Amino acid sequence: MAPLTEYAANRDLDASPEPGATASDADVPIFVIQQHDAQTLHYDFRLAVGGVLVSWAVPKGPSTDPSEKRLALRTENHPLDYADFEGVIPKGHYGAGPVLVWDTGPYRNLRAKKEDASVSMEQALDDGKIEVDLEGEKIKGGYALIRTDDAEDRWLLIKMDDEHADARRHPTSTEPESVLSGRTIDDLAQEAGADDE
Ligand code: MN
């Protein structure tokens, strides 16, 4: 299947404000974490790999505490242009509800520079073992994404133990604002409220 077939099939892209299904290349690989208040509130964690955003839905969002394992359900790839999408997906559409850019920045593949073996992001995805260094505003340092044995789509997002690990921080509750606009998910919902009633 082409990398964005599922994305396009799930949406009416003429009627949704979301970006079209075009793959493109970024010079520096980026990550984005979007807060999304769809049927249930969750965080979409996305990594640019091979011209698309490989994506997971993380119900509780990322933790900065290495002892917390956060469930991450692999979802369909998204176009790179989705990384700065913020807005409200209209009612009746796939994923209806407000989306904001909770954190974003460049990332590095930590498995690319091990002495014993150099593992590409594509290979790491296949292996079910990703290790990346994130340089966001709220989220920094090493994170591992590990595929669980019980199902293809179930992964765990875990903070690696480094100088950015901090069990006392809870950025999903203390820093809810968009890093692009300063708005909260409620601000977005209220702005769209007029045509939502
Ligand atoms: Mn979502």
Task: Report pLDDT digits (tens) over 121-161.
Answer: 999 999 999 999 999 999 999 999 999 987 789 999 999 99
pLDDT reading at 4 higher than 80: yes
Tokens of 32: 């984005």
Task: Report pLDDT digits (tens) over 17-55.
Answer: 888 888 776 667 999 999 999 989 999 999 999 999 999
Distance from the alpha carbon of residue 38 to the mean position of ligand 1, in angstroms: 7
Distance from the alpha carbon of residue 108 to the mean position of ligand 1, in angstroms: 24
**In angstroms, rounded to a whole number, what is the distance separating the alpha carbons of residues 156 and 146?**
5
**In angstroms, rounded to a whole number, what is the distance separating the alpha carbons of residues 184 and 170?**
16
DSSP 51-98: TEEEEEEETT---S-TTPEEEEEEEEEEEGGGGG--EEEPTTSTT-EE
Q: Kindly list the protein residues that place their beta carbon closer than 5 angstroms to ligand 1, a single-atom ion.
A: 36, 44
**What are the two backbone dihedrals, phi and then psi, of residue 176, each rounded to the nearest 5 degrees?**
-80, -10
Distance from the alpha carbon of residue 24 to the mean position of ligand 1, in angstroms: 21
pLDDT reading at 72 higher than 70: yes
pLDDT given at position 158: 98
pLDDT given at position 197: 46
The band of 196, judged by pLDDT with boundaries at 50, 70 and 90, is very low
**Whole-model pTM over 0.95:** no
